């Protein structure tokens, strides 16, 4: 193991759903920068972190998030 494997680094995620997915998988949120969510990870977690971001896109969590966003866009229909 090299020193870079144990060094902590910061990675940002701009998608709120992906950020929640990573949080659910145990990654530590250390703050925000604008709309980006900042995570602290060790150097040896970079590949897994990036893989989980791609996994999120194929998950039911992403589908759920997309459905929530669609529902938010429905216009108010007062004649019901």
Per-residue pLDDT reduced to its tens digit, 5-47:
569 999 999 999 999 999 999 999 999 999 999 999 999 999 9
* CA 51 – CA 25 distance, rounded (Å): 12
Q: Which residue, 26, 67, 34, 25, is CA-closest to 13?
A: 34
How many whole angstroms separate alpha carbon 9 and alpha carbon 7? 6
- pLDDT at res. 25: 97
Calculate the dihedral angle through the C-alpha atoms of 23, 27, 29, 30, rounding to the nearest 10 degrees.
Answer: 180
Domain ranges of the chain: 3-72
Quote the pLDDT of residue 5: 53
Measure the CA–CA gap between 37 and 21, rounded to whole angstroms: 12
Per residue in 49-76, pLDDT (tens digit) is 999 999 999 999 999 999 999 999 998 7
């Amino acid at each position: 193991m090299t020193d870079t494997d144990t060094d902590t680094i910061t990675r940002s995620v701009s998608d709120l759903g992906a950020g929640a997915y990573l949080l659910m998988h145990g990654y530590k949120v250390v703050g925000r920068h604008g709309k980006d969510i900042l995570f602290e990870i060790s150097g040896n977690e970079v590949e897994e972190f990036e893989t989980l971001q791609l996994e999120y896109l194929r998950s039911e969590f992403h589908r759920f998030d997309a459905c929530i966003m669609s529902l938010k866009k429905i216009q108010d229909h007062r004649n019901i």
